[in-house]
Amino acid sequence: MAHEGFQEARRDLRSLTAIAEKRALLWLAARLPAWVGPDHLTVLGLGALLLGGVAYAASRTSPLALHLVSLCLVLNWFGDSLDGTLARYRNRLRPRYGFYVDHVADAFGALFLLTGLACSGRVAPLLALALLVAYFLLAIDTYLATYTRGTFRLAHGGVGGTELRLLLVLVNLAAAIWPELHAFGWRLRLLDVVVALATLGVTGALVASVAGNTRALYHEERLAE
């Protein structure tokens, strides 16, 4: 029974891979054994990012650990993306529980992964911290907008969680081969450049989202003058 006053928000997922991903997830959900439940997948997704953070830290001495991070990102996609699909496919929805647990797991997963990255020696720790703060602020804005506007936005500018994972897999592959960039007499670590650009991108998405939500709410609740 739904909690009094609770209304599940409309999901807004307009990412580049959304259509293909939805088909793949439904195909997987139909073929998972009955003993695998949504909670198992949520735990798998969180555990994968914890191991991914450890692998990032290990890449300080072994570049091969970057490939383990990429494998962990694939496992995280499987667990984090499939848990909700499986619950809907089996008609075993728990909207409040699912929303809360899934996104608490996302928050801790980001913390684990970026802490490991900060310990890798491949990026300035302050840059990793800046990206983590920007991510958390965007998440806070998303959850507040979900409550106040009734729409849960899962992608910004066509980029959602799946696209971010794919980009990070490519970045890990590049960092294992070219850890540094050399141009015009400058030597820059590849991951420093990528994390700085990612922070700018997330910050831009945050500013645009806050401005859009504020404007929409102002007009929806504008007092008669």
What are 151's strand-pairing partners? 10
Supply the DSSP string of 8-53, one letter for each residue.
Answer: PPEEE---TTHHHHHHHHHHHHHHS-TT--HHHHHHHHHHHHHHHH
29-31-36-39 Cα dihedral, nearest 10 degrees = -10
pLDDT in tens, 36-77: 999 999 999 999 999 999 999 999 999 999 999 999 999 999
CA dihedral 29, 85, 167, 60 (to 10 degrees): -80
Phi/psi at 103 (5° precision): -90, -25
Percent of the chain with pLDDT over 70: 92
Rounded to two decimals, the pTM is 0.89
Confidence tier at 1 by pLDDT (50, 70, 90): very low
Is pLDDT above 50 for 6?
no
Q: Are 106 and 79 in contact (CB under 8 A)?
A: no
pLDDT of 122-159, one tens digit each? 999 999 999 999 999 999 999 999 999 888 888 888 88
How large is the average pLDDT for residues 101-105? 94
Confidence of residue 15 (pLDDT cuts 50, 70, 90): confident
Contact assessment for residue 195 and residue 123, using Cβ atoms and an 8 Å cutoff:
yes
User: Considering only 3-17, 22-36, 142-156, which range has the smallest mean pLDDT?
Assistant: 3-17
Continuous H helices in the chain: 18-31, 38-58, 65-89, 95-118, 125-149, 161-177, 190-220
User: What is d(CA 191, CA 180) in angstroms, rounded to the nearest whole number?
Assistant: 8
Three-class SS of residue 123? coil
Domains recognised in the chain with CATH numbers: 10-220 (1.20.120.1760)
Q: Closest Cα to residue 29, out of 102, 107, 108, 84? A: 84
Residues 186, 180: Cα–Cα separation, whole Å: 10
